[in-house]
């Protein structure tokens, strides 16, 4: 599997209803997309949930590279290029995935990033990360890593924000979830 995300930072006075309308009108277009486990249409809004900026930050979890390649190179990603210009696509490899189809019922995605420090051995790193990341009750999660940056990202799918207690990270609002349609 492969995770990808591009984060489009928007001006602080940007009308986020434009993005919400864009997702309402187009979000369904990735429903059932080849190799897509899920796509989250995510936004942050300046001043809401302690966010410092407006952003549109779609997040994908791909079952294989064919769907990702099709999305990027067969014209689908051109919609982003034409609307927002050239974007850096962050790539990660799933390490821990507890997601089910219930993520469609969630309203928020909480995201934290941590460094993987230089060490003598990466043996049991997955177990150490599992112990290191916060535990949030009644949530599904996904942890991805990027060995190019030596970082990992933990994502928590939340219905509400009451389980977040003094944690620093990004809180995204989920506008739409596209899935391949196969149970996981």
Residue 43 within a domain: yes
Residue 102 within a domain: yes
The pLDDT value given to residue 87: 94
Residue 145 within a domain: yes
Q: Give the C-alpha separation, 41 to 57, whole Å.
A: 7
The pLDDT value given to residue 23: 96
Residue 71 within a domain: yes
Task: Report percent pLDDT > 70 for the chain.
Answer: 97
CATH number assigned to the domain comprising residue 135: 3.30.70.100
The pLDDT value given to residue 137: 82
Which tokens is 7 given? 């984060």
Q: Give the C-alpha separation, 33 to 106, whole Å.
A: 21
**Low-confidence residues of the chain: pLDDT under 50:** 182-184
SS3 state at 77: coil
Domain count, the chain: 1
Residue 122 within a domain: yes
Question: What are the angstrom distances between the C-alpha of 113 and each of 99, 134, 167?
Answer: 18, 12, 12
Residue 184 within a domain: no
The pLDDT value given to residue 179: 85
Which residues form the domain of 30? 2-179
The pLDDT value given to residue 181: 52
Residue 178 neighbours by CB under 8 Å, 6+ apart: 27, 28, 30, 31, 32, 33, 36, 38, 39, 41
Query: For residues 49-63, b (16+ Cβ closer than 10 Å) or e, as one string?
Result: eebeebbbbbbbbbb
């Amino acid at each position: 599997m492969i995770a990808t995300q591009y984060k489009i930072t928007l001006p602080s006075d940007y009308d986020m209803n434009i993005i919400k309308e864009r997702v309402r009108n187009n979000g369904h277009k990735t429903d059932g997309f080849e190799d897509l486990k899920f796509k989250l249409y995510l936004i942050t809004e300046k001043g809401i949930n302690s966010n410092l900026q407006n952003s549109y930050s779609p997040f994908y979890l791909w079952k294989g590279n064919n769907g990702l390649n099709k999305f990027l190179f067969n014209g689908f990603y051109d919609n982003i290029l034409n609307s927002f210009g050239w974007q850096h696509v962050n790539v990660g490899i799933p390490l821990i995935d507890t997601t089910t189809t219930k993520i469609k019922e969630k309203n928020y995605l909480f995201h934290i990033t941590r460094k993987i420090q230089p060490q003598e051995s990466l043996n049991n790193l997955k177990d150490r990360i599992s112990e290191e990341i916060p535990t949030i009750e009644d949530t599904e999660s996904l942890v991805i890593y990027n060995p190019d940056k030596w970082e990992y990202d933990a994502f928590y799918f939340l219905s509400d924000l009451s389980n977040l207690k003094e944690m620093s990270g990004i809180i995204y609002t989920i506008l739409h979830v596209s899935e391949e349609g196969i149970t996981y």
